[in-house]
Amino acid sequence: MRIAIMGSGGTGGYFGGLLARAGEEVTFIARGAHLEALRLQGLRVKSRLAGEFTLPVRATDTPNKVGPVDLILLCVKTYDTEAAAQSIRPLSGADTMLLSLRHLRRSEALHQRCARPAVIPQRFANNTAAPVAF
């Protein structure tokens, strides 16, 4: 499965790292010093559940170089939603799924930016996750 992780901090790094370690084709979309660290040092995960591991990962700041993927994990902070929603468009194909692991308070902005109108969030009490097809 081809997977793009938009926002490779704690949440994106953890889930992306687990997926990469399991053998999925994962690309991290990052910027600045974080991008350089991923490229030079790989991704390091420390978890009580998954243990501690470091692995080399694909990382870029240019989503259109990645092309359409099967799954996009959107793990950005609320204030980055607008920019992230714009930048993930090149990652979207006809069958791409978007899993948003962020606060839904501003999910309307994400829904308006996605290429297709069929975006249906699923809300969970206190935690936020929105699996959507677009």
Question: pLDDT 10s per residue in the chain (134 long)?
Answer: 999 999 988 899 999 999 999 999 999 999 999 899 999 999 999 999 999 999 999 999 999 999 999 999 999 887 887 888 889 999 999 889 998 886 555 555 555 555 554 443 444 333 333 333 33
Q: Tell me, what's the pLDDT at 128? A: 37
Q: Which domain holds residue 26?
A: 2-133
pTM: 0.77
Q: What is the CATH number of the domain that holds 67?
A: 3.40.50.720
pLDDT computed for residue 123 by the predictor: 41
Query: Total domain count for the chain?
Result: 1
Q: What is the C-alpha separation between 88 and 37, in angstroms, rounded?
A: 22
